[in-house]
Amino acid sequence: MENISSVNLIPRRVKWDSVVAFTLFHLIALVGAVTTFSWSAFWVFIALQLVTGCLGITVCYHRLLTHRSFELWKPLEYLFTLFGCLAYQNGPIKWVAIHRLHHARSDQPNDPHSPTKGFWWAHMGWLFAFDEELDVYERYRNFAPDLAKDPVHRFLNATHGIYQVILGLLLYAWGGWPFVIWGVFFRTVFVWHATWLVNSAAHTWGYKVWATEDRSTNNWWVALLTYGEGWHNNHHAFLRSAAHGLCWWEFDLTYLIIRLLSWIGFASKIQLPQPEQRRQLAREPAAFPAPVSPRQAGVAA
């Protein structure tokens, strides 16, 4: 394993194709949302942002695939992974690899998206800088070897972009351009920024409960926008916990969905922090070891 605390001092080139694509998506979303509003299109947006942002990103990409906080019936795992692809935040292998690297290097110089390099860098600037470790499959697959050996996840990773086009065509056939604007463009931009706020705002504003060696915070309004992901200091303290909201008032819709999936028989082996872990992290500033390896970041309790 390479030295994960080393700093890459080589300037990275700008990914201009990403800059153009993100700019167009934002312009179409903002202008189109104003000019094509209808209540039916709005409810399409609400439904699809729950499917892609909640089921796809938070339930599947993050708590299931990245941290293995629980086990899910395999066909449903693949379906939820498809929902994650529709969020247009990269395929499952790349998303998981980057997130595990974030935990392995959290707020260190080579964290992929730390606000130590600036709030907007953490929020979205890092997406526009080419990094061979993050953008070349032969490199990033090493940080998600469990997914890279699964042929279904490899296929979804390689084809993740096409599903957005298919969805757009289906929405156009159903409700015309208003459904496309609200169900694809506006919904995608909304879920993007909600996800990015966990990287930026939840490492900048909020409160800390646990003695983690990073800047992660619990932020209530980020939690509301991200179905519970904003209880981020809790998450950094207990990486494998399926619950991020650990107090009665820390509302965590994602965890409630995981419990529902367990109740109907689709989810099992739900991980939660043990009392001894809580006591240790509450009193010992160095109790959370940093750095850990990217592979450990995916499974460490």
Q: Return d(Cα 270, Cα 287) in angstroms, integer.
A: 23
Confidence of residue 5 (pLDDT cuts 50, 70, 90): very low
Beta bridge partners of 71: 268
Mean pLDDT calculated for residue range 94-106: 96
Q: Is 211 part of any domain?
A: yes
CB 91 within 8 A of CB 85: yes
Give the pLDDT confidence score for residue 24 in this predicted structure.
97
CB 165 within 8 A of CB 30: no
CB 108 within 8 A of CB 114: yes
Q: Return d(Cα 208, Cα 192) in angstroms, integer.
A: 25
Residue identified by tokens 């819709």 is: 253
Confidence of residue 211 (pLDDT cuts 50, 70, 90): confident
Radius of gyration of the chain (CA): 19
70: tokens are: 């629980």
User: Per the structure, how many domains does the chain have?
Assistant: 1
Confidence of residue 286 (pLDDT cuts 50, 70, 90): very low
Mean pLDDT calculated for residue range 19-46: 97
Q: Which pLDDT tens digit goes with each residue over 137-188?
A: 999 999 999 999 999 999 999 999 999 999 999 999 999 999 999 999 999 9
- Lowest-confidence segment of 28-32, 209-213, 218-222, 262-266 by average pLDDT: 209-213
Say yes or no to pLDDT of 288 above 70: no
Residue 71, φ and ψ in degrees, nearest 5 = -110, 145
Q: Is 10 part of any domain?
A: no
Say yes or no to pLDDT of 68 above 90: yes
Q: Is 95 part of any domain?
A: yes
- Lowest-confidence segment of 72-76, 91-95, 102-106, 275-279 by average pLDDT: 275-279
Q: Is 236 part of any domain?
A: yes
Say yes or no to pLDDT of 287 above 60: no
Give the pLDDT confidence score for residue 275 in this predicted structure.
80
Q: What is the DSSP string of 140-176?
A: HGGG-HHHHT-HHHHHHHHHTTHHHHHHHHHHHHHHH
Say yes or no to pLDDT of 279 above 90: no
Residues 6 or more apart whose CB falls under 8 angstroms from that of 176 comprise: none
Q: Is 8 part of any domain?
A: no
Instruction: Give me the amino acid identity at 232.
Output: H
Give the pLDDT confidence score for residue 278 in this predicted structure.
80
Give the pLDDT confidence score for residue 298 in this predicted structure.
58
Q: Is 9 part of any domain?
A: no
Instruction: Give me the amino acid identity at 179.
Output: F
Give the pLDDT confidence score for residue 295 in this predicted structure.
54
- Alpha-helix runs per DSSP H in the chain: 16-35, 39-49, 74-86, 92-104, 119-123, 132-135, 137-140, 145-148, 151-159, 162-180, 187-200, 220-225, 232-237, 253-263, 275-283, 294-299
Q: Which pLDDT tens digit goes with each residue over 243-253?
A: 999 999 999 99
Q: Is 241 part of any domain?
A: yes
Residue 143: count other Cβ atoms within 10 Å of its Cβ.
Answer: 25
Q: Domain span at residue 187?
A: 16-299
Q: Is 200 part of any domain?
A: yes
Give the pLDDT confidence score for residue 220 in this predicted structure.
97
